[in-house]
């Protein structure tokens, strides 16, 4: 096979340690800066937007979501569902509203989804939770005019798993018109051989069952998929994004690959708090064209 299978354990750890690849800051500092930037952006959005916070979509402590509404939700509105990263182990919906203000100002509602992170959360359960959160939003808000998924890193993986959902089991048919997958992991097998799996405790079977790359469904024709990757993501993250995008395209999906210059694994998503940022504009254009 070649590729990651030929790497030493140390090389593989390095490839799947996004904080080691940023030219801006050292490994610990970049993670801390990311926590601070996303938390501060979320606080600002909660202060300035109309919100419904801590809405339970299930019975679990973390099965809650925050909704940021446009100033004038005139009956119907497009909804962006944001799924946070943190390597399935950290972050929460409380750092996931930072992208809301540029979107709500243009009439788009944003839902930030919480889910159980490891070690208490298991991969099967996380995938089930994000799927249930989408079903819940569809049932709760009759005025949704198209759903757009957006996930970062581990959240891009979870958003991609939402794309492969058999919705007949959920009793709803969400009108998913777009997905923006940012710096994601789409094949979990390499993760099994890194420190990341110390907390996740995935078996090979669990990794295969929850790898979007292995569960590409026939194309939903109305759905646009944007696979975005940062210049300063590791080669493995970049490879995963490229190969997943190609596999979706081969299955008939409408896919764009966006390679963003001058950003790393962290600020590629943090900058969604800025209306002028290229990825913010791409998302707004995707929604306005639908």
What positions carry a catalytic annotation? 153, 233, 265
If we measure between CA atoms, which residue out of 118, 117, 115 comes closest to residue 130?
A: 115
**Secondary structure percentages of the chain, helix, strand, coil, to 5:** 45, 20, 35
As beta bridge partners, residue 66 has 112
**Of 96, 75, 100, 73, which Cα lies nearest the Cα of 86?**
96
Positive or negative: CA dihedral 21, 241, 274, 263:
positive
**Beta-bridge partner residues of 79:** 109, 147
**Burial of 5 by CB count in 10 Å (0-12 exposed, 13-18 middle, 19+ buried)?**
exposed
Query: Which phi and psi (to 5°) does residue 280 adopt?
Result: -60, -45
């Amino acid at each position: 096979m070649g590729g990651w299978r030929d790497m030493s354990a140390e090389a593989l750890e390095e490839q799947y340690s996004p904080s080691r690849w940023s030219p801006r800051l050292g490994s610990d500092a970049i993670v801390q800066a990311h926590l601070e930037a996303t938390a501060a952006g979320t606080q600002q959005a909660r202060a300035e937007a109309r919100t419904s916070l801590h809405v339970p979509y299930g019975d679990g402590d973390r099965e809650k979501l925050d909704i940021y509404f446009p100033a004038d939700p005139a009956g119907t509105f497009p909804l962006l569902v944001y799924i946070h990263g943190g390597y399935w182990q950290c972050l929460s919906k409380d750092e996931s509203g930072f992208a809301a203000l540029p979107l709500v100002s243009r009439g788009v509602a944003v839902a930030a989804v919480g889910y159980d992170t490891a070690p208490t959360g298991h991969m099967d359960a996380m995938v089930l939770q994000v799927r249930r959160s989408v079903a819940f939003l569809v049932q709760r808000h009759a005025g949704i005019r198209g759903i757009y998924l957006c996930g970062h890193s581990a959240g891009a993986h979870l958003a991609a798993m939402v794309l492969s959902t058999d919705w007949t089991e959920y009793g709803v048919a969400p009108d998913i018109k777009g997905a923006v997958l940012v710096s994601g992991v789409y094949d979990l097998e390499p993760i099994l051989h890194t420190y990341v799996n110390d907390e996740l405790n995935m078996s090979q079977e669990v990794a295969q069952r929850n790898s979007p790359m292995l569960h590409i469904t026939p194309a939903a024709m109305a759905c646009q998929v944007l696979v975005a990757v940062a210049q300063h993501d590791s080669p493995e993250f970049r490879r995963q994004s490229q190969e997943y995008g190609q596999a979706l395209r081969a299955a008939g999906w409408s896919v764009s690959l966006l390679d963003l210059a001058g950003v790393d694994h962290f600020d590629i998503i943090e900058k969604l708090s800025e209306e002028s940022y290229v990825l913010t504009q791409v998302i707004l254009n995707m929604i306005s064209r639908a």
